Amino acid sequence: MANIFTITLLSAFVFASTTNLLLVQTATAQPVQIKKPTNSGVQIYPANNKLSASRLISIESAIKNSSNMRITEAKLTTYSDFAAQTGLYKSSISNDRMVWIVTGFVVGELRMSRGRSVCTDNAKIVRVIDAETGDAFGNSIYCPPNNEINVMQIPQTH
């Protein structure tokens, strides 16, 4: 009889201790951090539209690399506003990311890097600059009608 009582008491003690340990572990456990795989070659730009203006780059910083163009507009806006106007969306940039849109013209001939065309005069350039980091998201170049020439058709002189 004493053995049954001892075994029952011991079982109850083990059950109570195990339950108590599990409850303490559950209450004090830290959430598990699951890291999503990322493509190390792609920079992700999260939303930053809640940042104060003091944390964003100035208009002077946004236009500093635009010395070759006559600037007609520099506008601070969200990436979604820019993308809605142009239809150009990048999945690595949040729609709520603040960007500078710098627009201007280059007087005279403009050769596009790695491109095969030349704009003979008044190329319109639209630059998209990240308003927090100053990173360039891209340039669009538009040539007025009859001012774009295909370099492949220009005779090469040797």
Contact 11, 5 (CB under 8 A): no
Which helix (H) or strand (E) segment is 75 a member of? strand 70-78
Is the pTM higher than 0.85? The answer reads no
> What is the reported pLDDT for 128?
95
**For residue range 16-63, what is the model confidence (pLDDT) as tens digits?**
555 554 444 444 445 444 444 455 567 899 999 999 999 999 999 999
**For residue range 77-127, what is the model confidence (pLDDT) as tens digits?**
999 999 888 888 888 999 999 999 999 999 888 876 665 567 888 999 999
Hey, where are the domains in the chain?
A: 1-32, 53-153
Rounded to the nearest 5 percent, the helix, strand and coil shares of the chain are 30, 25, 45
| Secondary structure (DSSP) of 105-142 | EE-S-EEPTT-SEEE-S-EEEEEEEETTT--EEEEEEE
